[in-house]
């Protein structure tokens, strides 16, 4: 199936590249964003400006990429909006809580709209290249309907079940593990530096032996070099994801003791003015605890 009419809500750094790839694949994309400048940027690349959220939902499928639970709740879980929608499926590609996914699924079902959760792995350049990894969950019928869109935006779809919350759980678990990896690298680099070993040498050895791959080579080099700008994923978003993991854990009675340590470390970093930096800047907290120079 191709040539679908797609409503797209949320044109942040990720959404802009995703829209461009949907247009490139031959879909008609009506976009809505609170900031008109972002709309103008993607219209210049072939998208159409939606005349409000209702127009974005008067399509075959809606894709949304908003910042957090509050934005989704305020903008998209409006019964009046859903009642007037013609879209058969809403694909929420943001990282949101499991609880919100469950509420959204139930509310969409009341209005006969399929709801798919499809959070992604990848930063803005990956979205621009159409190489996202898409973690998807929803009914088989809804997933089949949006498969052409996933093909345009991503390199692979990872199915996680029929309940949308399962995909959000997988994404939250993944980001929790990433945060743990950054914190562990920060502590290891602080230990090395305090004993006369250059952190860059340590990370080069680790990423070339025991821990190959993009996380230890990429974030590891950022930690070792104390290179936290430009931010690919800002610190407040990292705190949001740690909080999502703690909330999901509490709801399922799963203790996450590292999560509490991470939450305090992210709050420490924010209190020291690092909110505009990459979430790898949480490594500065480990350095302060170790008494290493700024």
The answer on pLDDT for 89 being more than 50 is: yes
What is the band of 238 on the pLDDT scale with cuts at 50, 70, 90? very high
Residue 294 is predicted with a pLDDT of 80
In whole angstroms, give the CA distance from residue 268 to residue 86: 46
Residue 77's pLDDT is what?
Answer: 97
Please name the CATH architecture into which domain 168-289 falls.
Answer: Orthogonal Bundle (1.10)
Q: Please tell me the distance from the alpha carbon of residue 159 to that of residue 178, in angstroms, as a whole number.
A: 20
pLDDT band (50, 70, 90) for residue 63: very high
In CATH terms, are 5-162 and 168-289 the same topology? Answer: no
Q: What is the pLDDT of residue 66?
A: 96
The residue from 24, 171, 240, 277 that is catalytic is: 171
Tens digit of each residue's pLDDT (9 = 90 or more) over 153-184: 999 999 999 999 999 999 999 999 999 999 99
Mean pLDDT, to the nearest integer, of 57-76?
97
Which strands sit side by side in the sheet containing 120-121, from one edge to the other? 120-121, 132-136, 154-159
Angstrom CA distances, 5 to 19, 31, 167, 277, stand at: 12, 11, 25, 37
Give the other-Cβ count within 10 Å of 2's Cβ. 9
**pLDDT given for residue 1 in this prediction:** 43
Task: Kindly tell me if the per-residue pLDDT of 272 is higher than 60.
Answer: yes
Average pLDDT of the chain, as a whole number: 97
Cis ω on the peptide bond leading into residue 107 (within 30° of 0)?
no
Q: For the packed helices 98-110 and 164-194, what is the interaxial angle rounded to 10 degrees?
A: 160
Architecture of domain 5-162: 3-Layer(aba) Sandwich (3.40)
Average pLDDT in the 67-75 region? 95
pLDDT at residue 2 above 90?
no
Q: What integer is the mean pLDDT of 200-224?
A: 97
pLDDT at residue 282 greater than cutoff 60:
yes
φ, ψ at 45 (rounded to 5°): -105, 10
pLDDT tens digits for range 12-45? 999 999 999 999 999 999 999 999 999 999 999 9
CB 244 within 8 A of CB 172: yes
Angle at 114 (CA atoms; ends 111, 119), nearest 5 degrees: 130
pTM, rounded to two decimals: 0.94
Domain boundaries, the chain: 5-162, 168-289
For residue 234, indicate whether it is catalytic. Answer: no
């Amino acid at each position: 199936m191709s040539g679908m009419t797609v409503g797209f809500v949320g044109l942040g750094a990720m959404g802009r590249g995703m829209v461009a790839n949907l247009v490139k694949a031959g879909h008609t994309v009506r976009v809505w964003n609170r900031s008109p400048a972002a709309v103008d940027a993607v219209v210049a690349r072939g998208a159409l400006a939606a005349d409000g959220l209702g127009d974005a939902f008067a399509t075959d499928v809606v894709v949304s990429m908003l910042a957090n639970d509050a934005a989704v709740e305020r903008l998209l879980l409006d019964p009046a909006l859903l009642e007037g929608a013609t879209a058969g499926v809403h694909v929420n590609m943001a990282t949101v809580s499991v609880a919100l996914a469950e509420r959204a699924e139930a509310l969409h079902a009341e209005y006969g709209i399929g709801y798919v959760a499809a959070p992604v792995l990848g930063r803005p350049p990956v979205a621009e290249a159409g190489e996202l990894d898409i973690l998807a969950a929803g009914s088989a019928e809804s997933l089949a309907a949006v498969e052409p869109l996933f093909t345009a935006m991503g390199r692979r779809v990872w199915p996680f079940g029929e309940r949308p919350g399962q995909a959000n759980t997988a994404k939250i678990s993944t980001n929790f593990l990433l945060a743990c990896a950054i914190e562990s690298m920060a502590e290891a680099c602080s230990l090395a530096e305090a004993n006369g070993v250059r952190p860059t040498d340590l990370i080069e050895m680790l990423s070339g032996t025991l821990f190959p791959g993009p996380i230890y080579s990429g974030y590891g080099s950022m930690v070792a070099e104390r290179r936290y700008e430009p931010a690919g994923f800002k610190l407040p978003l990292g705190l949001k994801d740690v909080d999502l993991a703690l909330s999901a854990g509490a709801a399922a009675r799963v203790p996450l003791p590292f999560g509490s340590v991470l939450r305090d470390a992210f709050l420490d970093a924010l209190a020291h003015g690092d909110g505009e930096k990459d979430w790898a800047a949480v490594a500065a907290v480990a350095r302060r605890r170790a008494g290493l120079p700024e």
